[in-house]
Amino acid sequence: MSAPVNHEPVLQRFPEVEWDEEFGTLIVPVAKAAEVATWLRDDESFRLDYCSNVTGIDYLDREFKEKIKNEEGKTETIIHKDPARMEVVYHLYSMEKRTGPLVMRQRLERDKPEAQSLTAVWRSCELQEREIFDLYGVNFSGHPDQRRILMWDEFEGHPMRKDYVEPFDYEWEPTPHDEILEKHQKGKVIF
Amino acid sequence: MTAAAPNYELIQQDGLETSLLEVSMGPHHPSTHGVFRMDVKLDGETVVDLKPVFGYLHRNHEKLAENMSYLASMPFTDRLDYFNSMTNNWAYALAAEQLIEIEIPERAEYLRVIMSELTRLVNHVSLVGFFVNDLGALGTPLLYAFREREKILDLFEQASGARMMCNYFRFGGLRCDVPEGWLDRTREVVDRFPKFLDEYEKLLCENEIILSRTQGVGNLSKELAVSAGITGPMLRASGVNYDIRKVDRYGIYDRFQFQVPYSKGDVGDCYDRFMVRMLEMRESIKILNQALDGIEDGPIMGNAGKVFKPAKAESYGRVEAPKGELGFYLVADGTPKPYRFRVRPPSFINLTVLRDMCIGQQVADAVIILGSIDIVLGEVDR
């Protein structure tokens, strides 16, 4: 494995950035994302010039049960709550220094996911952010060409979301003429 | 979008008004290697703007994988880049093995290297065949390449039971051992391969038509290649010495002596990309010879347990697939299914710069530039 990147200087430079110990990732506030990313790319000690992987994760409201032993020796169930959120994950490497990866996240509201596009910092985000927009419905502000990429343009919904329900028939569309149009206007839909 | 397309609708030429012509190349165009479409805007023969359109083969592989157990997606990874199922298997196994503590037996490690280097030969040899096919050398060079590819596919069939959809790797090792005499047959194929390469190089590398059609076509600068996340032979053709086999040294790649061919210049054209692949095949043969010398008898499967159920964690495993960096990103939440399963497909991300490379070139060159990127639509669309 290539040498890991020390994340401490990022936390010192940007006090808003948090470090998630469990997954080993930087959590960057959306408003600061481009600034932090540019600094990571240009700073001499990091030079993370290569953004390998960009992806989204959708978290619904979830509960985890964990069994632990308390002081009296009895097993107790603790319920951890995992709030609903949307995340955009970036895996950063340095081609110059041959180090990496450093994982960076933007954490977003699930109801209205608004992220900052990093395409201006790393070109490799261009198609991958379009894919996240397509499959997760995350809106990237500042993206040069945000359109659907894998699904067709008329498609409704975002299929990678955890609560996505697929329609009965993708291909079905009302053919608006003659009898069928009349029935359709009356509200009778034929499958 | 760094390269700016000139924004004009009507052109004045010798007092006559002409307009740009919009051509839709594909989705069923022989040069697109699958169902892929390019919306090309032409000023005469010159490409002014280009938009790649894909997704025709999209089957949401990631969603499928999130709804089944970890091991059940192994055969699905074969279908991503159907030329290189062995390296796809390896990338997925590597990501999953990072989630749990597991030791991989020596023989399995050697066989993994042998399989993935054979795959590299298959991919590069057929890519060069298709590339020359795009240039107009119809048939002959491609069939020469396919003749050699067939010999290696026979080896895959003997080992795994399938020519292309091998499904051969498992978490902690391999599905089954190779049959008796397989290593000798492999050695025979590997020993004969350089002779074929000599012949192929003599035919193609100094061919005048190939030189004049590919040199200086589809230029890609070093800075843009790094920033756009280009990986694999295409990156090395642009002058960056970056090979994940050398950087990460996953598996047992630290034991083999081999070199990474890359271009000396700061700009890579189609000829560089073609040559890097030709040279890489020679290096693969070096690795194969060392691996065939070093392999010994032993078990091929580590103790992975019956049910693969990792604790809450995440992992990113990447390998140097023939087309570039193939990565798998897994988020485990303590259940037997992955919570998030993501493929980082090299040919999808290498398409980012297609527009930049094509603008200003002739429309016939756009076909070659696409061919030199080396895409497989099963992987682009997933």
- Average model confidence (pLDDT) for chain A? 83
On whether residue B92 sits in a domain, the answer given is yes
pLDDT for the residue numbered B2:
46
pLDDT for the residue numbered A191:
46
Q: Give the lowest-confidence range in B10-14, B142-146, B155-159, B284-288.
A: B10-14
A170 touches B: beta carbon within 8 Å:
no
A154 touches B: beta carbon within 8 Å:
no
- All domains in chain A, ordered by first residue: 8-59+85-164 (3.30.460.80)
CATH number at residue B317: 1.10.645.10
B106 touches A: beta carbon within 8 Å:
no
pLDDT above 70: residue A172? no
pLDDT above 90: residue B119? yes
Helices (H), chain B: 61-66, 74-78, 85-97, 106-135, 140-160, 182-204, 208-214, 222-227, 233-237, 244-247, 270-294, 346-350, 354-358, 363-373, 377-381
Minimal Cα distance from B332: which residue of A? Answer: A23
Distance, in angstroms, between B203 CA and closest chain A CA?
35
A117 touches B: beta carbon within 8 Å:
no
Distance, in angstroms, between A60 CA and closest chain B CA?
11
3-state secondary structure of B315: strand
On whether residue B201 sits in a domain, the answer given is yes
DSSP code, position B308: -
B378/B54 Cα distance (integer angstroms):
11
Write out chain B residues lying below 8 Å of A122, CB-based: 227-229
Q: Is A24 left (phi over 0), alpha (psi -120 to 50) or beta?
A: left
Q: What one-letter code names the amino acid at A124? A: S
pLDDT for the residue numbered B288:
92
Count of pairs with CB atoms under 8 A, one residue in A, one in B: 87
Smallest Cβ–Cβ distance between A124 and the set B229, B240, B249 belongs to: B229
Determine the Cα angle at B263 with ends B260 and B266, to 5°.
135
On whether residue B46 sits in a domain, the answer given is no
Q: How many domains does chain B have?
A: 1
pLDDT for the residue numbered B298:
87
- The model's pLDDT over A96-116, given as tens digits with 9 standing for 90+, comes to 888 878 899 898 888 888 899
On whether residue B51 sits in a domain, the answer given is no
pTM of the model: 0.87
Write out chain A residues lying below 8 Å of B313, CB-based: 23
On whether residue B316 sits in a domain, the answer given is yes
- The model's pLDDT over B145-154, given as tens digits with 9 standing for 90+, comes to 898 899 999 9
pLDDT for the residue numbered B11:
62
- The model's pLDDT over A34-57, given as tens digits with 9 standing for 90+, comes to 888 898 888 888 888 899 899 999
A149/B55 Cα distance (integer angstroms):
7
On whether residue B10 sits in a domain, the answer given is no
pLDDT for the residue numbered B123:
92
- In B45-75, which positions are buried (b, 16+ CB within 10 angstroms) versus exposed (e)? eebbbbebbbbbbbebbbbebbeeebbebbe
Q: Could you write out the DSSP letters of every residue in A32-68?
A: GHHHHHHHHHH-TTT---EEEEEEEEEE-SEEEEEEE
- Average model confidence (pLDDT) for chain B? 87
Minimal Cα distance from A82: which residue of B? Answer: B333
- The model's pLDDT over B21-71, given as tens digits with 9 standing for 90+, comes to 888 887 877 666 778 888 898 888 888 888 888 888 888 889 999 999 888
Asked if A46 and A30 touch (Cβ cutoff 8 Å), the reply is: no
Structural domain including B357 reads: 61-381
pLDDT for the residue numbered B10:
60
pLDDT above 80: residue A127? yes
pLDDT for the residue numbered B9:
56
Band of the pLDDT at A184, cuts 50, 70, 90?
A: low
Band of the pLDDT at B82, cuts 50, 70, 90?
A: confident
On whether residue B28 sits in a domain, the answer given is no
B25/B36 Cα distance (integer angstroms):
8
Q: Could you write out the DSSP letters of every residue in chain A?
A: -PBPPP-HHHHHH-TT-EEETTTTEEEE-GGGHHHHHHHHHH-TTT---EEEEEEEEEE-SEEEEEEEE-TTS-EEEEEEEE--EEEEEEEEEETTTTEEEEEEEEEE-SSS-EEE--TTT-TTHHHHHHHHHHHH--EEET-TT---SSS-TT--S-TTSTT----S-SS-----SHHHHHHHHTT----
pLDDT above 50: residue B79? yes
- The model's pLDDT over A54-72, given as tens digits with 9 standing for 90+, comes to 999 988 887 777 777 777 7
Determine the Cα angle at A34 with ends A28 and A36, to 5°.
55
pLDDT for the residue numbered B276:
92
- The model's pLDDT over B210-227, given as tens digits with 9 standing for 90+, comes to 899 888 888 889 888 999
On whether residue B272 sits in a domain, the answer given is yes
pLDDT for the residue numbered A77:
81
